[in-house]
Amino acid sequence: MNPSTRAACVIGYPAKHSRSPKLHGHWLERYGVDGDYRIEEIEPEHFQAFLLNLSQHGYVGANVTMPHKDAALKLSEPDERALGIGAANTLWLDKGNLRSTNTDVDGFVGALDSAAPGWHDRITSAVVLGAGGAGRAVVYGLLERGLTTVHVVNRTYTKATALREAYGSSVEPAHWEDLPKLLEGASLLANATSLGMDGQPTLGIDLSTLAADAIVSDIVYVPLKTPLLAAAEERGFTTTNGLEMLLHQAVGGFKLWFGVRPEVTRELYELMAADIPATS
Ligand code: ATR
């Protein structure tokens, strides 16, 4: 490798099956960037030493995934988003300082912007399923776009109330039993739980009472079309899936490391979708 080649990596444990090298590799080629993107499978006990010596390992930055997102936040200088979400997934070296952000917000809102441009001009409230790491990023993105009410439904109710404590009274925590009522006339439903993922139970939700022009979004991307999205499509709702979010969340890191803002194209989507089951 040329010594001037800029390299980034994804750090996780496990990480072997990450799809990020394929995604960033496509952009590196498309934009003719002299760069590289690799997988670094690092055990939790070695993560701190690895991250704090990122440049000695040959990297200008990194994506961080399970189980390192919380540690990455503590070991870096987080921006407002990473701090607000409580987790960092994208890091870069800035004049020797290790800085971090959370691009899961861009993933979620970017997918919505692309599927339903101007959605936040007509939608003031949403229903979010899940209050884990992904749920926090989804709720953060919705509030950043000015929604006034975000109902957060979670199996563990205290995690939904913690979101209200963190983000304020626009967040309305709710129990799973409240869902049928909340869905009546709802314009935006986002699944941020792992339900519907291959090997997990599905979300048995009746979508018949959603608003006629509703948007249904799912963070799950294996399969691409979860039972929730299949039901939403059948009713003619606009949908966004987890692969679209994965692609949009990757844009910010590529720009920070390689200096080019890459485009999420249909061609890239098809390339990445090729080895993911379409339905369960
Ligand atoms: P992530 O970072 O992907 O959000 P996570 O923090 O483990 O992962 O959160 C997973 C989410 O899926 C949580 O909202 C979880 O609900 P709990 O907070 O009650 O654990 C939700 N989830 C996972 N399995 C579930 C199940 N069988 N039924 C309902 N919710 C489930």
What is the pTM (predicted TM-score) of this model? 0.96
Q: What are 225's two structure tokens?
A: 């079309």
CA angle 238, 212, 152 (to 5 degrees): 70
Whole-number Å distance, alpha carbon 179 to ligand 1 midpoint, is: 16
Is there an atom of ligand 1 within 6 Å of 130 CB? Answer: yes
Is there an atom of ligand 1 within 6 Å of 202 CB? Answer: no
**To test ligand 1's pocket by mutation, which of 139, 194, 203 has the most ligand atoms within 8 angstroms of CB?**
194
Is there an atom of ligand 1 within 6 Å of 196 CB? Answer: no
Q: What are 3's two structure tokens?
A: 């010594």
Please, what are the domains in the chain?
Answer: 6-102 (3.40.50.10860), 105-243 (3.40.50.720)
In DSSP notation, 134-176 reads HHHHHHHHHHHTT-SEEEEE-SSHHHHHHHHHHH-TTEEEE-G
In angstroms, rounded to a whole number, what is the distance separating the alpha carbons of residues 158 and 38? Answer: 38
Provide the residue count of the chain.
280
Tell the residue nearest (CA) to atom 30 of ligand 1. Answer: 155
Whole-number Å distance, alpha carbon 28 to ligand 1 midpoint, is: 34
In DSSP notation, 36-74 reads EEEEEE--HHHHHHHHHTTTTTT-SEEEE-TT-HHHHHH
Print pLDDT tens along the chain (280 aa).
677 899 999 999 999 999 999 999 999 999 999 999 999 999 999 999 999 999 999 999 999 999 999 999 999 999 999 999 999 999 999 999 999 999 999 999 999 999 999 999 999 999 999 999 999 999 999 999 999 999 999 999 999 999 999 999 999 999 999 999 999 999 999 999 999 999 999 998 999 999 999 999 999 999 999 999 999 999 999 999 999 999 999 999 999 999 999 999 999 999 999 999 998 8
